[in-house]
Amino acid sequence: MAYDPIWNQHSAYSRGFVHAEADEQNKTITFLPRQHVNPHFFCTQVKAKKVDDERLASARPDDRLAELSKTWYNSVTSSAQGMRFDDVPIRASGAIDVASTWMETTCLPELAGATSLMGCTVGELRRVLATLYVYSLFVTKLEGVSDDQPALGVTLQSRVVARRRDQMIEWLSGLSGVPAASVDAILSVLTFDTTHPHVTLAQQPVVHSDDGQLFFLPRMLLFLDLPRMYVGALNKIPEGRAVYDRTINEIETAGVESVVSEIRAAVPSALQIVANVTFGLPDGRHITPDIVVVSQQDPTVLVIDLKYSTPPFGPADIHRRVEEFEKWKARMGEYVIGFQSNPDVLRQHCQWEYRGDATVFGLILTRWPLPIPVDFSEPVGAVDWPSLRDHILKTHPSSICELVTWAVNRPDVSVPAALAWTATDVQVGEWKYRYSVLTALAKERVFDLTQKLAYRLWEKRGRPLWDDQRDWFDAEKHLVANPHLSAGR
């Protein structure tokens, strides 16, 4: 287990996330920590993803499926060769219909079932994923029963489904009711591609052998988010990426409409909201943010861009998400500067009665929590939609400033007041590997650092009398925003 962090550091180094130094004389390799990271955003997104994962898990219809599984369990027979499963009761039980209804709310819910993907429709994909989930759940639960009741005389090992490709397609097609050609296309996307440099079982869990057989492990499928698994696998294939790029506009358009509808219902009418409209700037350029919120109470504007990047599966995905985030920040910066410099253009689509300057905020809104190491600063912030949606439905913010303050500070999430890079060594033969991880500072250390920094800030301002509290607040803010401290200083 001690080697796992080293592998992680090598992966991060190979993707350009961190730098490394080799000291041949002392036989030490040091991985230098990534400096440009907003720790508050990262920590809140890690916790937001945990909450979102729990929400997704709680939405699974497992209790209902358990009720429908009894006829299938009763059809299972055992012999010296093992268990024999009869799939006919699964088709007749209605379990796949229940799971398919669930998939409609979790698998590309913004798209109609007839939407074409890569050799299949969205509806067919939902049906196949629902079938895989039901079968995997039933088999895994049966394995658990055999473990808990040794008196039955049969102990099942984790089942591996193994069939020739043509038989796998025929079996899955018969079980799901989806045409064989569509099942073939779906399995092709989900089959482990040994030629891809960044292949992972979390995205392509179906493994093929040289003799033409396909394998998958039902127990593993239950640990995966099946819709995101498919989207991730689809984007590993050039043709699949083109298909997803074609559909993402439709997904984002529907997503923006849904977000606007929920925000409108939660905020006062004094906040005017427009979506997917183009503003012409005086220099001839045009900008088209996803959402613009304008306050009729004060000269305040919020620009929102909704992003549908899925949470990363591994280092390669993290690298792509970081690159995407840099592009999002640059685009949002253009929007913010455009409205700050030319607030009158808001009259093209909004009721803007103010003269003079406007306070403009930018908010990158991710469809799912996105725990990646990125950095940004005011007036641009970022937050995930599940967290923001939950907040506005509960609190009904009355102003743009109130909404933005919550999104940036995330008071609902407990984040360490200050973090520091702490070095850890791992010995491998004659060589020592050294890497750093962010850890929370002890309260005494936080107080000490805050006090010293506040004093420096106070000195820098000329030691004004009766005005030192401001420096203390600025010091606290600096410590939260800058994890680039050494725990030894």
Average pLDDT, the chain: 87
60 sits in the region (left: phi over 0; alpha: psi -120 to 50; else beta) called: beta
Enclosing domain of residue 441: 3-32+417-481
Contact assessment for residue 369 and residue 49, using Cβ atoms and an 8 Å cutoff:
yes
Question: Number of folded domains in the chain?
Answer: 3
pLDDT score recorded for residue 81: 60
- Gap between the terminal Cα atoms of the chain: 30
- Tell me: do 175 and 73 sit in the same domain: yes
pLDDT in tens, 287-328: 999 999 999 989 999 999 999 988 887 777 788 888 999 999
- Tell me: do 425 and 468 sit in the same domain: yes
92 is a domain residue:
yes
Domain boundary among 196, 213, 236: 236
- Tell me: do 161 and 201 sit in the same domain: yes
Of 194-198, 358-362, 436-440, the range with the lowest mean pLDDT is 436-440
373 is a domain residue:
yes
Sheet containing 19-23: which strands, arranged edge to edge?
19-23, 28-32, 431-440, 419-428
Residue 146 one-letter amino acid: S
pLDDT in tens, 252-280: 899 999 999 999 999 999 999 999 999 99
pLDDT in tens, 122-161: 999 999 999 999 999 998 888 776 655 554 455 556 678 9
227 is a domain residue:
yes
- Tell me: do 358 and 231 sit in the same domain: no
pLDDT score recorded for residue 301: 97
**Max Cα–Cα distance, the chain, nearest Å:** 88
- Tell me: do 334 and 352 sit in the same domain: yes
- Tell me: do 118 and 213 sit in the same domain: yes
Of 292-296, 384-388, 422-426, the range with the lowest mean pLDDT is 422-426
Containing 29, the helix (H) or strand (E) segment is: strand 28-32
